[in-house]
Amino acid sequence: MKDLKDYIISLDSSIKQLIFKLESNASQIVLVVKDERLQGTVTDGDIRRALLRGETLNSSVEKIMNKNFKFLPETASEIEALSLMKKETLKQMPLLDKEGRLKKIFLLDELIKPKFLPNDVVIMAGGKGKRLGVLTEDCPKPMLKINNRPILEIILEQCIEAGLKNFYFSVNYLKEQIQNYFEDGSRWNICISYLEENKSLGTAGSLSLFPHQPKEPILVLNGDVLTKVDYNHLIQFHKEHVADISLCVREHSTKIPYGIVSMKDLHVLALEEKPILTHFINAGIYVLEPSVLNLVSKDTYFDMPQLIKLAKEKKYKINAFPIHEYWQDLGYPETLLQTAKVWK
């Protein structure tokens, strides 16, 4: 277990500071403390919900923390903590003394070893990567390297670390390079199969090639996106919020280089100089219930936005999973170069 200070943040901290602490301890929880006494807890899910309802990175931790947290006395055993965590469906349990001072924290992941996840993973790796120009003339985009490792291999190993074992690579352009490198996955002690497109089927069309009807939600990833998202956490979030589709979103800000004029007819109502507009963008990461596959047209070009729109029309439940972790689209030469400099 890490040092207790790795989980602690002060009451006057911002959400931005909270996210840094959360990512550094990798436990999905931060404990808010004042004068050594536990004031509240903030989980990974609390942050994502706060961002969706409009809180900013500069908002106070106090605005989003859970003050009605569960805890045990400092004398509690691991067995007692595990029992309560299972009963309350909790992943962490703080231990306090009689004065409310934080003494210890039990983590479910440390008490129970990670289990194999039965979910299938589909990685979209068939695109031509036209935006990358000469870089993809003789190399499929997912096989371009970041620090001497193919992008697709980095994504694969992140999934394996999360407990995923069964993979489908959707391939088309220069597919032999991908198939020859990864083969059946035995080098990683996993199973890799291939959804081979005879023509370009878009970012969702290859799902119609799935060889069976899955029993568990499917993780779908773009093969040109790198992120530090824990896919285990994402799948659990999808299940806990009972969605048909979980769509990962990322906050993106655009600075308008001009003054924006608000008008009514000919009357100027306001002038805002060089505003920054913030939106949530599609991050290219999805969790789909098996029934969603039935919406994908057979052997037809079909993009993920089309699938989302159709699912929405048919009243499927679609939830957003906001990403606060590192995320980068590697579809441009400049982002590929930038990621190579910072990726570890």
How would you write the pLDDT of the chain (344 residues) with one tens digit per residue?
457 888 899 999 999 998 988 888 777 889 999 988 999 999 888 998 998 888 888 899 999 999 999 999 998 888 888 888 888 888 889 999 999 998 989 888 777 765 689 999 999 999 888 899 999 999 999 999 999 999 999 999 999 988 999 999 999 999 999 999 999 999 999 999 999 999 999 999 999 999 989 999 999 999 999 999 989 889 989 998 999 999 999 988 888 999 999 998 888 999 999 988 888 999 999 999 999 999 998 889 999 999 999 999 999 999 999 998 899 999 899 999 999 888 97
Question: In terms of Cα–Cα distance, which of 77, 93, 75 is closest to 85?
Answer: 93
- Is-contact 282 247, C-beta < 8 A? yes
The segment(s) of the chain belonging to CATH 3.90.550.10 are 117-342
The rounded distance, in Å, linking the Cα atoms of 18 and 32 is 9
Q: φ and ψ at 137, to 5 degrees?
A: -65, -40
Q: What is the DSSP string of 236-260?
A: HHHHHTT-SEEEEEEEEEEE-SSPE
> Is the domain covering 117-342 a CATH 3.90.550.10 domain?
yes
Segments of the chain assigned to CATH 3.10.580.10: 4-111
In this structure, what token pair is assigned to residue 5?
């200070």
Residue 155 contacts residue 164 (beta carbons within 8 Å):
no
Contact between 90 and 70 (Cβ < 8 Å): yes
- φ/ψ of 245, rounded to 5, equals -135, 130
Residue showing tokens 């500071």:
17
Q: How far apart are CA 145 and CA 152, in angstroms?
A: 9
Q: How far apart are CA 177 and CA 137, in angstroms?
A: 13
Provide Rg for the chain, Cα atoms: 23
4-111: CATH topology: CBS-domain (3.10.580)
Task: For residues 132 and 137, give the distance between their C-alpha atoms in angstroms, rounded to a whole number.
Answer: 9
DSSP of 88-150, one letter per residue?
A: HT-SEEEEE-TT-BEEEEEEHHHHSPPPPEEEEEEEE-----GGGGGGGSSS-GGGSEETTEE
The residue with tokens 């799948």 is 235
Query: pTM for the whole thing?
Result: 0.76
